[in-house]
C-alpha cells in the first residue's frame, strides 16, 4: 500500500501547482436535501433488521433467487471497484472531470475510509446472519457500499461532462448488489443499506475535502503541498503521504 502512494506522489509531481488547484471551487456544498435518498436507503435496511414484514420479504426474495440459481458468479468481487476505477480510466483517456488526480484521490480515499468504518462497525453491532449461513456479518453489504461509493464519485466528477457516465456507474453498482443476492451472500435489506452508505460516504468526503485539504496542506512553502491520504482495506486503517511540488 505504501509503495502505491509513493508511485502516486511521483506522478503528481509532474503536474504544476496551477494544474492542481480546484477550479472555481467546484466542490459539493452541504445540502440537507442530499441526505434524503441515502437516508431512506439506510433507514430501510435498519428498519428491516427488526421488522417481521421486511424480514419475510427478504426470505421471499431469497427463495425466488434460489429457485433460479444454476451456478454462482463471482463478478461482484470485481464489479464493486469498476465505478471508482472508471473515474481514473476516463481521465487517462483525456476526459477531464471536476477534479484533478490529486484531489480526486483524496476524496476517494476519504470516502473509502468513511464507508469502511461504517460498514464494519455495523457488521459487528448488528451481527445479522448471512443467507447462506456462512457468518454473522451480513448487514450491511460491503461490496454494494463500495460499488455505490464509486458510482457516486463517478457521477459527481463527470455529471457536467455527460450524465451517462454517472448512470453507467449506478447501473454497475446496482448489478453488484443484485449479484450479492444472487450468490446468496446478502439479504435485500443488506444491499439497500449498503447502497445508501456508499452514496453518503462519497457525499461526506466531498463536503469534508476543503477542511481536509487545509488541515494537511504545508504552510511552510506555498509552492509545496503535503497531504495525508487515509485508507482502509477492511482490516487495517492507515494513512499514505503525498507531497506535491
In tens, the pLDDT along 156-193 reads 999 999 999 999 999 999 999 999 999 999 999 999 99
DSSP designation for 17: T
Cell numbers representing residue 125 in the block: 453491532
Q: Is residue 108 part of a domain?
A: yes
Q: 5-9, 71-75, 223-227: lowest mean pLDDT where?
A: 5-9
Phi, psi of 51 (to 5 degrees): -105, 120
The angle at the Cα of 7, spanning 4 to 10, to the nearest 5 degrees, equals 155
Confidence band (pLDDT; 50, 70, 90) for 24?
very low
Region of 95 on the Ramachandran plot (φ > 0 left; ψ -120 to 50 alpha; else beta): beta
Q: Is residue 127 part of a domain?
A: yes
* Model confidence at 219: pLDDT above 80: no
Q: Is residue 123 part of a domain?
A: yes
Confidence band (pLDDT; 50, 70, 90) for 215?
confident
State pLDDT tens for residues 93-121.
999 999 999 999 999 999 999 999 999 99
Q: Is residue 230 part of a domain?
A: no
Residue with the larger pLDDT of the pair 194 and 19: 194
> Is 195:148 a contact under the CB 8 Å cutoff?
yes
Q: Is residue 149 part of a domain?
A: yes
The pTM of the full predicted model, rounded to 2 decimals, is 0.79
The structural domain count of the chain equals 1
* DSSP string over 61-75: HHHHHHHT-SS---T
Q: 18-22, 28-32, 134-138, 210-214: lowest mean pLDDT where?
A: 18-22
* DSSP string over 108-154: HHHHHHHHHHHHHHHHHHH-PPPTTSS-S--SS-HHHHHHHHHHHHH
Q: Is residue 176 part of a domain?
A: yes
Among candidate residues 152, 155, 145, the one with its CA nearest the CA of residue 180: 145
State pLDDT tens for residues 58-106.
999 888 877 766 667 789 999 999 999 999 999 999 999 999 999 999 9
Q: Is residue 169 part of a domain?
A: yes
Domain span at residue 208? 38-68+76-217
Amino acid at each position: 500500500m505504501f509503495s502505491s502512494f509513493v508511485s502516486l506522489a511521483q506522478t503528481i509531481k509532474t503536474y504544476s501547482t496551477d494544474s492542481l488547484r480546484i477550479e472555481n471551487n467546484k466542490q459539493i456544498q452541504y445540502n440537507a436535501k442530499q441526505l434524503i435518498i441515502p437516508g431512506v436507503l439506510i433507514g430501510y435496511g435498519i428498519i428491516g433488521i427488526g421488522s417481521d414484514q421486511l424480514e419475510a420479504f427478504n426470505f421471499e426474495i431469497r427463495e425466488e433467487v434460489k429457485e433460479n440459481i444454476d451456478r454462482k458468479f463471482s463478478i461482484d468481487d470485481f464489479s464493486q471497484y469498476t465505478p471508482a476505477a472508471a473515474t481514473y480510466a476516463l481521465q487517462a483517456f483525456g476526459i477531464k472531470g471536476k477534479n484533478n488526480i490529486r484531489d480526486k484521490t483524496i476524496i476517494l480515499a476519504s470516502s473509502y475510509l468513511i464507508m469502511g468504518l461504517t460498514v464494519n462497525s455495523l457488521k459487528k453491532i448488528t451481527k445479522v446472519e448471512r443467507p447462506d449461513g456462512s457468518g454473522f456479518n451480513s448487514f450491511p453489504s460491503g461490496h454494494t457500499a463500495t460499488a455505490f461509493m464509486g458510482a457516486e464519485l463517478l457521477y459527481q466528477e463527470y455529471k457536467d461532462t455527460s450524465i451517462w457516465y454517472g448512470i453507467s456507474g449506478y447501473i454497475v453498482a446496482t448489478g453488484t448488489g443484485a449479484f450479492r443476492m444472487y450468490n446468496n451472500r446478502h439479504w435485500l435489506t443488506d444491499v439497500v443499506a449498503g447502497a445508501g452508505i456508499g452514496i453518503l460516504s462519497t457525499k461526506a468526503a466531498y463536503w469534508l475535502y476543503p477542511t481536509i485539504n487545509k488541515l494537511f496542506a504545508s504552510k511552510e512553502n506555498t509552492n509545496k503541498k503535503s497531504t495525508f491520504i487515509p485508507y482502509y482495506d477492511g482490516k487495517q486503517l492507515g494513512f499514505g503521504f503525498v507531497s506535491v511540488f
